[in-house]
Amino acid sequence: MKIYHQQVLLSILALSLLLGSCSEPQLSNENERATFDYPKTVKGNVVDEYFDTRVPDPYRWLEDDMSYETGEWVIAQNKVTQNYLSVIPYREKIRDRIEKLWNYEKVGAPFEEGGFTYFYKNEGLQNQYVIYRIARDGQTEIFLDPNSFSDDGTTSLSSLSFSQDGSLAAYSISEAGSDWRKILVIDAVTKEAIEEPIVDVKFSGIAWRGQEGFYYSSYDKPQGSELSAKTDQHKLYFHQLGTSQKEDKVIFGATAEQKRRYVGGSVTEDGRYLIISGAISTTGNDLYLKDLTEPNSPLVTILDDTDAEAYVIDNADTKLYIVTDKDAPNQKIVTVDASDPRPKNWKDFIPEAENVLLPSTGGGYFFAEYMIDALSTVYQYDYSGNRLREITLPGVGSSGSISGKRKAEKLYYSFSNYNTPSTIYELDLASNKSKVYRESGVEFNSDDYVSKQVFYSSKDGTRIPMMITHKKGLVLDGKNPTMLYGYGGFNISITPSFSTTNAFWLEQGGIYAVPNLRGGGEYGKRWHDAGTQLNKQNVFDDFISAAEYLIASGYTSSDYLAVNGRSNGGLLVGAVLTQRPDLMRVALPGVGVLDMLRYHTFTAGAGWAYDYGTAEQSREMFEYLQGYSPVHNVRQQAYPATMVTTGDHDDRVVPAHSFKFAAHLQGKNTSQSPMLVRIETDAGHGAGTPVSKIIEQYADKFGFTLFNMGFNELPYQYGEN
């Protein structure tokens, strides 16, 4: 969103004349809650028609992120929100404690490129990780420092890719959290730029073809706002080093027959094949290859079925290893010769199993991770398909991918769960032994906490797993502050992982509960499909049933329950808030997809139709979407305390979703609970957000939650240090 600097200097009087009162909150003696007047949000007269049904959209004007009026509305709303948050007596204590928890050295696993050993490191509170490298003589130096990209830390490193011999590197950067990127190319030895940046790149990898150049993906720059205008046809380009970007060749996506919303290119480790994936939606893709050893070789089809997913995980000369869910909802690995790689010639290599397969490769082996009730079990295979052994994990939780180059002698993986900080392990392939490579330095004693898995029944009787984490010795008296987090979409599996910010919540005696909702990928394609389109209500029912389980079991009560989710999880929270406002005390919908009738008209939203369907698809689909769309289901009734969060540069889920939802809540809520919208400036959907902003965001989120649960001081008081 464009908010000009001079606008910030407008007087409060001018804002009041334009938007209504922005008075500071006044504490009420009765419940010590703030009551105040929201900025007036003008209603327009826009009405859409779907299948002879007229649907008003009074806040359509908030979709215009380039308008002066929208910019002023953002300023006014942020003023009200910050005024409210400033009243919370322990807000700074929360910020200070999270900052202290965050302030420890973090070092990633090493990787080899061109005779150097590289690793990511953050000294503690740096806004962005720094990339270091160690030369053969043992000298360590900074290779890239993203903290130098901008003064305020809002320009971040998105990806880094080395040429095959490691002598060249290309990296992409994001400015203010936008999905639009720039690619910079440098000599990896001298670290000097060797040509002008590639600009206007979006949803792209960087795949080198020898030392000649690299493949990348993007859309034609849209007309109007680059932050909200629809992007529809993705293209794969090849950039030849030493030439200008305007000379880059379109490899795929140039014709109507090749029109795809998402196109990606990768090059096999041996440099032999270019693999191209094309997708109409976020689920399913067709797959192609091109032999790079043959001049002008044709594009060969591997799979032309966008109802299935497939990708090439590795190759051995002309033998391809393909991961797919075609005729295998839990995924399998097949092999086929590149001369005719169509499905009729596929042979099972690691067949489909009862549990979902998540494979990786490294050191000349395959590593098959299986999710068993969303928990990791890992086996090692050779290239003949023989299972060699199980990798012993240190506990019950999530294993990071065991991966690396074919010739690597040592591989690295991480392990964590909700009460165990992430530890990096080194796997020596000669001895088949793992050892701790680096432990987390976070100030958190895992022995004081317990994390357990329970199962409960959803509305239709479906068995749903949920992880519940809290301090040992918890009393089930229904008065424990509880954060219920959910996602439930896009085949994404929510597996146990440690969060430094959630460590604060647990320290305060809070419960952190995470159910594995339908719509995710924890139990394969069938589980995903059970939470899509006309089945989307299953996801909301699963989440509601999780809350009811926690309440019925005495963990918490409605007065101490907060529901939290981001993106598709923001939709989840918005839908549950409008369907069951009695269920929780606090709702925290973040960067949510909240206008289900128009989500597909912005940026790449049309690609989400596999999960959601669209309002134009059919009358049945329109009525279903209208029936749960949060923006369209805010009623004149009492709602729990709600803080909607978004970023003004979010060009994935545009902030208009959050703006319109907040406007409806402020206009229709009949309770004294606050209906706030917190709009982060110079921030996007989340990736690359500076540490300083992350700490502020969580301090506000936890402060808002505890304050509205009735806590006038923190449940657990820290000492002077």
d(CA 711, CA 25) in angstroms, rounded, equals 18
**Nearest of 56, 48, 191, 197 to residue 133 by alpha carbon:** 191
Burial label for 79, CB within 10 Å (0-12, 13-18, 19+), is: middle
Non-local (6+) Cβ contacts of 377 within 8 A are 355, 369, 370, 390, 393
Q: What is the model's pLDDT at position 719?
A: 53
Residue 649 a catalytic site member: no
Dihedral (CA of 453, 456, 458, 461) sign = positive
User: In this structure, which amino acid lies at residue 141?
Assistant: E
Three-state SS sequence of 74-94 = HHHHHHHHHHHHHCCCCHHHH
Catalytic residue among 567, 629, 658, 673: 567
**Residue 70 is inside which H or E element, if any?**
helix 68-86
Q: Specify the pairing of strand 234-240 against strand 356-362.
A: unpaired
**Nearest of 41, 113, 82, 715 to residue 404 by alpha carbon:** 113
Dihedral (CA of 353, 359, 362, 367) sign = negative
Structure tokens at 623: 């009525």
592-596-600 Cα angle (round to 5): 90
Coil vs helix vs strand at 534 = helix
User: In this structure, which amino acid lies at residue 127?
Assistant: N
**Residue 399 is inside which H or E element, if any?**
strand 398-399
Any idea which fold 447-708 has?
Answer: Rossmann fold (3.40.50)
Dihedral of CA atoms 342, 347, 352, 356 in degrees, nearest 10, equals -50
Q: What is the model's pLDDT at position 685?
A: 64
CA separation, residue 77 to residues 82, 352, 535 (Å): 9, 52, 35
Dihedral (CA of 157, 160, 166, 170) sign = negative
Q: What is the model's pLDDT at position 18?
A: 30
User: In this structure, which amino acid lies at residue 159?
Assistant: S
Report yes or no: 2 and 71 within 8 Å, Cβ to Cβ.
yes
Dihedral (CA of 217, 223, 227, 233) sign = negative
The domain ranges of the chain are: 283-352, 368-441, 447-708
Report yes or no: 218 and 237 within 8 Å, Cβ to Cβ.
yes
Predicted model pTM = 0.92
Question: What are the residues facing 376 on neighbouring strands?
Answer: 371
d(CA 570, CA 542) in angstroms, rounded, equals 15
Phi, psi values for residue 523, rounded to 5°: -125, 25
Q: What is the model's pLDDT at position 76?
A: 95
**Nearest of 106, 102, 181, 107 to residue 149 by alpha carbon:** 181
d(CA 33, CA 437) in angstroms, rounded, equals 49
Structure tokens at 281: 């939606």
d(CA 275, CA 285) in angstroms, rounded, equals 12
Structure tokens at 582: 């009695």
d(CA 325, CA 703) in angstroms, rounded, equals 44
Non-local (6+) Cβ contacts of 50 within 8 A are 597, 615, 616, 619, 622, 626
Structure tokens at 578: 């409008």
CA separation, residue 153 to residues 157, 176, 321, 534 (Å): 10, 9, 41, 42
If the chain, 721 residues long, is cut into consecutive pieces of 10 residues, what is the mean pLDDT of each piece? 28 29 35 64 96 97 92 94 96 97 96 96 96 96 95 90 97 89 97 96 95 94 67 91 97 88 96 96 95 94 94 97 97 98 98 97 98 96 96 93 95 96 96 95 96 98 98 97 98 96 97 98 97 98 98 98 97 98 98 97 90 97 98 98 88 89 97 95 72 94 98 80 38
CA separation, residue 100 to residues 154, 448, 498 (Å): 21, 19, 16
Q: Could you read off the pLDDT of 427-472 as tens digits, one per residue?
A: 999 999 999 999 999 999 999 999 999 999 999 999 999 999 999 9
Residue 567 a catalytic site member: yes
Burial label for 253, CB within 10 Å (0-12, 13-18, 19+), is: buried
User: In this structure, which amino acid lies at residue 95?
Assistant: R
